[in-house]
Amino acid sequence: MSDLLQQSALELARRIRAREVSPVEVVEAHLARVEDVNPHLNAIVQPLYAQARRQAREAEAAVLRADRARPNLPPFHGV
């Protein structure tokens, strides 16, 4: 299991801003977990994986465009 699944949203947001991890990596880790457990839980009835991946790529592009010293991003951008 990915360590990304064990981190809080606050920690993930900090790591994304610091460019230690990308929004795409975060989404992929969570989607992999959903694929593992959802057959047993049936908690997600309409998976929107393609949309989640697209939004993660867009969030990553915004992070890469942002000024590293003072990124002008929402608090939980990319999470």
Q: How far apart are CA 1 and CA 31, in angstroms?
A: 12
Across the range 7-11, mean pLDDT stands at 97
**Token digits of residue 62:** 């915004």
pLDDT at 4 over 90: yes
pLDDT of residue 56: 98
The structure tokens listed for 1 are 């299991």
So what's the pLDDT on residue 30? 97
pLDDT at 54: 98
Chain segment 19-78, per-residue pLDDT in tens: 999 999 999 999 999 999 999 999 999 999 999 999 999 999 999 998 877 878 899 999
